[in-house]
Every structure is written in structure tokens, then in C-alpha cells.
Amino acid sequence: MTVRFRIDALGLDTTEGSVEYRFTSDLTVLAGPTGVGKTTLLELIKFGFGANAILAPVAVEHVESVTLEVRIGDERLRLTRSLDKAKRAIVRVTDLITRERLQDHHIGDKRQPALNTLLMRCLGLPDDMRAAAGGNSTREGARITFADILTYLYIPQGEINRDIAHSQESYREPKRKAVFELLFGLTDREILALRSAFSRLKGEIDIAETQHDTVVQFLRDSGTSGREEAELAFERAQTAQQEAESSLVRLRESIDPVTDRETQTLRDLLTEAERGLADTRAAETDLTRGHAQYTAERRRVQADLDRLDRMREAGQRLADIEFTVCPRCMQSLRTRSVPANACRLCLQDDSAVPDQGHDQYEVRQLTEQLLEMDRQLDALVNQREAVSRAVADRQQLIAHLTTMLDSRTEQRVTPRLQAFSDASQQVAKAKAEQQHWEAILRQWDAVADLQAATDQLRTDRENVRSRIDHARRALELRHAEIIEEISEEFDATVRAIGIPSITTASVDSEKYLPVLNGKIFSKDNQLSGGVTTATQVAYWCSLLAVAMRHPETTYPAFLLIDSPRLALNTATNLTAAMYRRLTTQVGVLAGRLQIIIADNELPDTYRGHYAQVDFDYRHPTVSTVDHPGPANVTPIHETTSNETTD
């Protein structure tokens, strides 16, 4: 039994008002000439379900939001999605059974709650299934979404006369086949997960094998052909280190007793001489510093003495100068009476008379200081010479003691020290080799770990393969029965419609595509547009017919077809047979299947068997917007410039 799937109403909120269409009949035909917006309406339905859609200019410029009232499974929902680019990622959801406004849902799976999750749950399907490509693919596969289910429910105008469920797009092949198997109960969530795991394990095995081969090649380039060789080299390095350390111990024990009493005395004398030399050099430095300080002080005292001499000489020279004329009024002073010890010019006491006693005392003091400093400097010079001789004597003593020690230890200690040095180098070399081989062994351990990981991945892959084969065998009988039943139904439908040029018709058991005249439908096996269109209708009607006879299928009982008459042109008999088949299909179980068709010219014979909504250029599908006329409209299937990228 198929899953209930029905569109009850479609509403458009436009800039000029609202438009609503209700679908109460099992078969509804949207009729009208090309360019009135029938495809626009169907693409807006697709857009309302959260899928990518080709939006016509009238929709982009005038339609603000799309509202769908749908019944899916046991749920009745109202979905409202804005066409504004800033808002279209959010869908407003209302539960029409409880009349409760649900949480807004997001387009895509990056944020939750997601509309895809809601729609898949309503269909009774999980939203985390993936369709692995199989073969040599190492990817888990793309996630199966409601948009993939929609390819089995909606036949767009651009595909109806050339392709079936996007089968000519190779990258969609895994998902197309997985959806077919899922809807007909030929696979389930566990099998799809196993297939994804199998592909993922193949990729992990490839990575592990590459890493393993890389490390092994590196080890071979390093000169080791195997782990055993590295272990032997590591053991040899350990043995070499032990032997070298034993030699060091023996040498150390033989060198310790060499030092005798005379040698020790010489060492003590050398140490004392070196200490005395250091003290003598320190004293020499102090004497040199003191001599420099006394010399600087003597220069200062000599400068003071020279200053006094210059002052005395200047006074003596100026004392003989007498004014004979007043420097102010230029009158003669020769006849002027001047008191004793007074200035001839100003008649005040003459203070320029030098105090000879004071000057003599200062000169005497400075002269005595100079003499004392000269004596000190002479003493410092003598002391520094004595210290310099002592430094030279101690240097000679140190050189003599060093020579005696070298000659005494040369024959006894030096050979042992050389042997000690050689043994130490051997220990260091052995340790370096051990570290090198330890690193190599760690690499071989990594090789073993990678090999074990690869073996475990292979084991896991084989286990998964076994589980997949077991599940496939369990479904083989059902798979054969379903495919055979679909093939028989498809052949009968093709004959009932009377599709020309087709003598045999069936469905391929692996690709699930029509086999016409012994050839699988493909890009390389193209039929005429009218034949392809009729084959499409026959194929989808056959799938629905078989699905409705099996209660365990999850196939949605819904079909949306855009412009089947477009490629048939004047083939009225074929068109009539096709519509006869569609009316018969919906009449088998009333209320279980809904088919909505957008078409141009319709056969008159069966108009009473379905609901029909007529459109023309005065009454287009978006009726709130005036139609610009057929000459100013580009059919939507001829451009994809406005395709959404949700």
C-alpha cells in the first residue's frame, strides 16, 4: 500500500493580492496555452516543498510567498515559504489537525528542525540515509532527501520528453536507484548504512595501505630490509656499549692509583704558586692605580702654585701704573695733594698693596706638598718594580712546576687518558646507534600497527560485505517478483496506450529504467520526443500501479506531470490513450491516488472524468498580475536563469 500524499490547496501571496487553488479531485488538469504560467505554478509547488525550483520572472517579481496544504501519511500540514532571498531559508509550518503553529523549519540539514526531516518522517522514512555509489567509490554517498523522493513524484516539462528521473545525470544514479529500492521495499535503512560503511571502509583501507607502503619504502631506503635485521643491529649496538663501559671501568680503576706523593706535592706547589701569582698581580694593579692618583693630585697642586705665581707677577706689574689724568674729565692729577696710602685717583685707602706674608705661607705649603708627593711617587715606583719582579719570578716558578708535572705524568697517565677517551667515544657511538635502531624499530612497530589496522579494516569490510550479501539474498525473491511485476505492468501499459515503434517493453533489474525493444533507456538510446513522453507516463503509471498493490511499499501515491501533450503535437489517439490510462489509474481506488497535470490541448472524450482548471492570457495562473501577452513571455523551460540555489 502506498503512502498517502495529497496536495489539498496551493496559495500564492502576491504584491497585488492572493491567489488560491484547491485540488479536490483525484485527477486535476491545469489547461491553457503556452505561456499562461502552468509550469510556473508547478515549480512553485516544488519550491514550497523546499526543493530547488526554476522561478519565472512573474514569480520572482510579484509572488511574495507560497503556501501548500498537504496530507502526507497521517499528517496534515500547511507549509508557507517566502520567495524573498533573505527569508526563503525558513518555512512556517502549521499542523492542520491540531491547528497548532509548529516551530519554523529550515531548508537544508545544517540547522534543525529541518523541513526535510519533517517530510521524510511523514513518509515514514529516516532522514539520515545515504546512497553509496558502489564499485570503486570510497565515499559514504550523498544523503537521501525529500528532494530525491520528489523526482519520483514530479515530471517537469524540461525532462518529460528526454529523460526519466534524471537518469542521464550520472552523479544522480546512486540516489535514483536507492530511492527506487527504498520506495518498493527492496532495501532499508540498515542495508543503505551497510553500503555506506562498505564504501567508507574501502577508503580507509586505501589510506591505511598507502601509509603502510610509505613507511615500508622509507625503511627500505634507510637500509633495512626487515624488522629482524633491525633487531640484530640493535643487539649489536647494545653489546658494543656494554663492552665499552666495561673498558671504562677498568681504565678508571687503573688510573686512580697513579698519583704518588711527589706528584701531589708538585701539584700543591703549583696551586700555591698560581695563587701567589694572582695576589701579586692584584697588588701590582693596586700600585699602578695609586701611582696614577698621586700623579693627578700633584698636577693639581702644581697648578695652584702656578696660579699664585701669576697673581703675584700681575700685582707687581700693575703697582707701577699711576694715573696722571682723570679718565672721566681728563684733568691733570699731578698737582693734586694725595694722603699717604691713598689712591691718587679716588683718594680712598689703597687696598692693592699685597699682603706678602699671606702669599708666602700659601706658596710654602704648596711647595711642601709637592715635595711630599714626589717622595710618595718615588716609593710607589720602587714598590711596583719589586712587584713586577715578583710576578716574573712566580711565572717562572709556575712554568717550571708545570714542566716537572708534565714530564712526570707523561709516561704514566697520558696513555691511559687516551684509552679512556677512546672508550668514551665508543660508548657514545654505541648509544647513538642504539637510538638510531630504536627509531627504526619504532617505525617497524608502526608498520605492524598499520598492517594490523589494515587487516582489521579488511575484516570489517568482509563482515559488512557478508551482511550486505545476506540482506540481498533475503530480498532476492522479493526483488525479482517486484521487478517482474513492474515489467509486466509496464509492457501492458505501453500496449494499452499504443506507443508506436515499441514492440517489447520491460524494466531493467539493476538500473530500474525502461528497456525498450531490448535496449535500456539512456542518453545513447534516445527515442522521439512524443514516444519518450508516452513512455514516461506509462513508466510512472506502472510504478504507481504495482506500489498500490503491495502494502509494504512506502511509495507516495502522487504524480505531478507537466505538459505531456507538448511533445505529442497532433498525436490525438496517443494523447487520448494516455489520458484514458491516467483516469483509469485514479479510478481503481478512489481517494488513494492524486494526479495533477498541466497541459495544453486536451482530448474532449474524457473531460468529464477529471477536474479541469482553464487558463488563458486574460486569466493566467497568477491572476492578480496582468499577463504581458504571449509575445513577451519566454517559456520557463527555455531558461534556468532564475533557478534557486537553496
Q: What is the pLDDT of residue 48?
A: 96
**Can you give the length of the chain in residues?**
646
Q: What is the pLDDT of residue 95?
A: 96
**Residues 60-104 pLDDT 10s:** 999 999 999 999 999 999 999 999 999 999 999 999 999 999 999
**Residues 368-425 pLDDT 10s:** 888 888 888 888 889 888 888 888 988 888 888 888 877 766 655 556 566 667 777 7
Helix segments in 350-413, DSSP class H: 356-410
Q: What is the pLDDT of residue 460?
A: 86
Could you write out the DSSP letters of every residue in 490-509? HHHHHHHHT-TT---EEE-T
Is the pLDDT at 540 greater than 60? The verdict is yes
For residue 56, give the C-alpha cell.
Answer: 519565472
132: CB partners within 8 A, 6+ apart: 139, 140, 141, 174, 192, 195, 196, 198, 199
554: CB partners within 8 A, 6+ apart: 2, 3, 123, 124, 125, 182, 183, 185
Quick one: which H or E segment has residue 254? helix 227-255
Average of per-residue pLDDT across 198-207:
84
Helix segments in 498-565, DSSP class H: 529-549
Is the pLDDT at 198 greater than 90? The verdict is no
- Of residues 59 and 324, which shows the higher confidence score? 59
* Band of residue 646 on the pLDDT scale cut at 50, 70, 90: very low
**Residues 431-441 pLDDT 10s:** 787 777 777 77
Is the pLDDT at 307 greater than 60? The verdict is yes
> Cis bond leading into 113, ω under 30°?
yes
Average of per-residue pLDDT across 180-202:
88
Determine contact, residues 146/91, Cβ cutoff 8 Å: no
Q: What is the pLDDT of residue 69?
A: 97
**Residues 494-537 pLDDT 10s:** 999 998 888 999 999 999 999 999 999 887 666 766 788 889 89
Cα 260–264–266 angle (5° rounding)?
Answer: 120
528: CB partners within 8 A, 6+ apart: 501
The strand ranges marked E within 15-141 are: 17-22, 27-31, 63-72, 75-82, 90-95, 100-101, 105-106, 130-131
Is the pLDDT at 442 greater than 80? The verdict is no
Average of per-residue pLDDT across 429-457:
78
Mean pLDDT of the chain: 83
Rg of the Cα atoms in the chain = 57
Q: What is the pLDDT of residue 642?
A: 44
Going by C-alpha positions, the residue among 465, 457, 459 that lies closest to residue 212 is 457
CB 106: neighbour CB atoms within 10 A? 18
CB 72: neighbour CB atoms within 10 A? 22
Q: What is the pLDDT of residue 6?
A: 96
Helix segments in 550-624, DSSP class H: 572-588
Q: What is the pLDDT of residue 267?
A: 80
Is the pLDDT at 297 greater than 50? The verdict is yes
Place of cell 697517565: 413
CA distances from 602 to 396, 530, 582 (A): 131, 15, 13
Average of per-residue pLDDT across 350-376:
74
Quick one: which H or E segment has residue 430? helix 414-497
Going by C-alpha positions, the residue among 45, 43, 69, 67 that lies closest to residue 56 is 43
**What residues are paired with 359 via a beta bridge?**
none
498: CB partners within 8 A, 6+ apart: 573, 574, 577
For residue 216, give the C-alpha cell.
Answer: 615500508
* Band of residue 318 on the pLDDT scale cut at 50, 70, 90: low
* Band of residue 168 on the pLDDT scale cut at 50, 70, 90: confident
Give the lowest-confidence range in 178-182, 390-394, 612-616, 631-635: 631-635
Q: What is the pLDDT of residue 643?
A: 46
The Cα–Cα gap between 535 and 497 comes to 9
Q: What is the pLDDT of residue 181?
A: 93
Average of per-residue pLDDT across 216-239:
70
The Cα–Cα gap between 251 and 247 comes to 6
Q: What is the pLDDT of residue 638?
A: 60
Q: What is the pLDDT of residue 500?
A: 86
Average of per-residue pLDDT across 213-225:
73
For residue 396, give the C-alpha cell.
Answer: 717562572
Determine contact, residues 380/294, Cβ cutoff 8 Å: yes
Q: What is the pLDDT of residue 555?
A: 94
Cα 250 to chain centroid, rounded: 61
Give the lowest-confidence range in 27-31, 176-180, 328-332, 629-633: 629-633
Q: Judge if pTM exceeds 0.85.
A: no
DSSP state of 34: T
